[in-house]
Amino acid sequence: MAASTQFNARTVRPLFRLQSVSKKCPKPARISCAAATPAKRYSITLLPGDGIGPEVISVAKTVLKVAGFLEGIEFSFQEMPMGGAALDLTGVPLPDETLSTAKSSDAVLLGAIGGYKWDKNEKHLKPETGLLKLREGLKVFANLRPAIVLPQLVDSSTLKKEVAEGVDLMVVRELTGGIYFGKPRGFSTNENGHEIGYNTEVYAAYEIDRIAHVAFETARKRHGKLCSVDKANVLEASMFWRKRVTEIATEYPDVELSHMYVDNAAMQLVRNPKQFDTIVTNNIFGDILSDEASMITGSIGMLPSASLGESGPGLFEPIHGSAPDIAGQDKANPLATVLSAAMLLKYGLGEENAAKRIENAVLDALNRGFRTGDINSPGNKLVGCKEMGEELLKSVSSQVPSAVLN
């Protein structure tokens, strides 16, 4: 299948993008910059969204600018409304202009969407509906969610240190099929006169095949182990899923494939997470398991994600929500969004060096003891979203030693 190795040809590249950048570095960091005239230019659509979204996007954008500048990259940013912010402004969660701008850019960086204000809206007027439509419009079907327990944060995990230490796994989630999109769906009345709600879990062969190829390619670049998660002992859709994944496995003899029922996978993720390298699963199971995996790391505020298609711009976003309770209070952790920007550079643009600058900057800031409230512990310095951004800028401008990664 041609799509097997073409899923977004930029998938093996760095992680972030930046906006057009002046030859002066942002003042807060007081960094001395020196770089050649930008040789590469990219357009990035920014979707700050709701809650803490604008705060974390602001930090990620500035970090992207500096990392790109130092690598001879120039970014052109266009900020567009989405989610609750778009509802308030235009009456819909995803304006046509926003989708059009996103589709014409090189990559899309999203902050967060949703909030109590819109919880009681009808389904088509909920912020979350805008996100589903964005994914559908961009045709991004593969969601990559890494869960890595950094040595600096191992004590923040709710699991015992010996269980959490060294965890490094990737969840590959099918994003545009399954029960979230399947039809028929809706509300009705059954033959007994009872009100019912129903949804349909359905997958076509091509949908399973293309996500399986992405997962096998991802596992091949990691440690050569892939676990396919399903519920094939009960669900026909999962039986079909397992059949197709098993057939695709014959094309990847160098990757060890295993299968696991989703209930057992949920248990094993907290019992022995180090047994996993790469996990591939359907939309709803991936939604749940990736959130569970995130808490192994100590905070959902640390985890980025990349959503990719066979062509066109990718969508990069932190997996955390909009956190309306702390919005506007300078308490948000921007690191998941910053790392999503790194994934943008790596998987979306193929700018490996710029991505590595950002990844190293995050590790350096943590090594120097800076922590936002969600990951703070005794002996470290508690900082807000803005100050964490300033510390990242100090780190990203310097050549961080490779020892930082150890």
The predicted model gives 375-383 an average pLDDT of: 93
287 assigned to active site: yes
231 assigned to active site: yes
User: Which residues lie closer than 8 Å to 80 by C-beta, 6 or more apart?
Assistant: 45, 46, 47, 95, 97, 98, 101, 102
Q: Which pLDDT score is estimated for 9?
A: 38
pTM of the predicted model, to two decimals?
Answer: 0.82
Catalytic residue from among 50, 230, 287, 364:
287
Catalytic residue from among 103, 274, 291, 394:
291
330 assigned to active site: no
Judged against a pLDDT cut of 50, whether residue 371 lies above it is answered with yes
Judged against a pLDDT cut of 60, whether residue 77 lies above it is answered with yes
Least confident among 27-31, 66-70, 208-212, 355-359 = 27-31
Judged against a pLDDT cut of 70, whether residue 71 lies above it is answered with yes
Taking the C-alpha atoms of residue 37 and residue 34, their distance in angstroms, rounded to an integer, is: 10
Taking the C-alpha atoms of residue 179 and residue 200, their distance in angstroms, rounded to an integer, is: 5
Among candidate residues 305, 277, 301, 275, the one with its CA nearest the CA of residue 290:
305
Tokens matching residue 13: 């590249």
pLDDT in tens, 238-250: 999 999 999 999 9
Please check whether residue 107 is in contact with residue 42, taking contact to mean a CB–CB distance below 8 angstroms.
yes
The predicted model gives 366-379 an average pLDDT of: 94
The predicted model gives 118-144 an average pLDDT of: 95
Q: Quickly state the pLDDT bin for 26 (edges 50, 70, 90).
A: very low
Q: Which pLDDT score is estimated for 74?
A: 95
Q: Quickly state the pLDDT bin for 397 (edges 50, 70, 90).
A: confident
Given the structure tokens 């569970």, which residue do they identify?
292
Question: What is the distance, to the nearest Å, from the Cα of residue 318 to the centroid of all Cα atoms in its chain?
Answer: 5
For the chain, state the CA radius of gyration.
21
Judged against a pLDDT cut of 70, whether residue 404 lies above it is answered with no
Average pLDDT, the chain: 89
Catalytic residue from among 88, 155, 263, 325:
263
pLDDT in tens, 230-288: 999 999 999 999 999 999 999 999 999 999 999 999 999 999 999 999 999 999 999 99
Burial of 289 (0-12, 13-18, 19+ CB in 10 A): buried
209 assigned to active site: no
Q: Which pLDDT score is estimated for 69?
A: 93
Tokens matching residue 97: 């202009």
180 assigned to active site: yes
51 or 397: which leads in pLDDT: 51
Measured between alpha carbons, how far is residue 380 from residues 232, 348, 371 in Å?
A: 47, 34, 7
Catalytic residue from among 61, 65, 126, 231:
231
Q: Which pLDDT score is estimated for 295?
A: 84
Catalytic residue from among 180, 225, 386, 394:
180
Q: Quickly state the pLDDT bin for 12 (edges 50, 70, 90).
A: very low
Taking the C-alpha atoms of residue 372 and residue 382, their distance in angstroms, rounded to an integer, is: 6
Type of residue numbered 334: P
